[in-house]
Amino acid sequence: MADPDLGEFTRRMDGALEALRKEFLGLRTGRASASLLEPVVVLAYGTEMPIAQLGTVNVPEARLITVQVWDKGNVKAVESAIRSAGLGLNPMSDGQLIRIPIPQLDAERRAELTKVAGRYGEQARVAVRNVRRDGMEHLKRMVRDSELSEDEHELWSEEIQSMTDSHIKKIDESVAHKQAEISQV
């Protein structure tokens, strides 16, 4: 009898955690961070490109992000992409340099961002639970095909549940940390 390969399920659960971390990069916490602009894509040269491929992103001050656009023809596209990204930022261009002041977060915006972080966490939990469901179905198929005994099925099911619980706990910790970071004045 063959043991099921749980590496694929672990990889997929880790992917859900990584996707959550990337989502959190786009949430403002009141101070400037170059990672804030990572999710922004710009329509340039006939294709969508990340800002990092069109210019240099810097954080010269705690409340300011600058983007030094390499091609002057892309300045307007970068500026409008930042404005329409839903980050609540208002970029101002000065030649090829785009200055993006980071406004102070008010209590209402902090509460809203905390809820968004919670939604991102719930999406990640759903993704992990979907991986668990797939894993359980895989084990049932193996039992049906006589590749796994009922006792082994029980043991592997507990292993998948343990992996799921571990990943859900990491997600909950990440969400709590991000919400605390957002709420910090």
Taking the domain 7-24+106-183, which CATH number applies? Answer: 1.10.132.20
Average pLDDT, the chain: 86
For the beta carbon of residue 86, count every other beta carbon within 10 angstroms.
Answer: 9
Phi, psi of 62 (to 5 degrees): -65, -25
Tokens linked to 18: 């990584």
Q: Cβ neighbours of residue 184 under 8 Å, at least 6 residues apart?
A: 29, 30
Domain ranges in the chain are 7-24+106-183, 31-101
Whether residue 133 is predicted with pLDDT greater than 80 in this model: the reply is: yes
pLDDT in tens, 112-126: 888 888 989 999 999
Cα 31 to Cα 20, 34, 43, 60, 61: the distances in Å are: 20, 10, 27, 12, 9
pLDDT in tens, 58-77: 888 878 889 898 988 888 88
Whether residue 1 is predicted with pLDDT greater than 60 in this model: the reply is: no
Q: Is 107 within 8 Å of 101 (Cβ atoms)?
A: no
Dump the DSSP string for 75-129.
HHHHHHHHHTTTS----EEETTEEEEE-PPPPHHHHHHHHHHHHHHHHHHHHHHH
For the beta carbon of residue 6, count every other beta carbon within 10 angstroms.
Answer: 16
Please give the model's pTM, rounded to 2 decimal places: 0.69
Domain boundaries 31-101, CATH class:
alpha beta
| Tally of residues, the chain | 185
pLDDT in tens, 67-113: 898 988 888 888 888 888 777 778 888 888 888 888 777 788 788 88
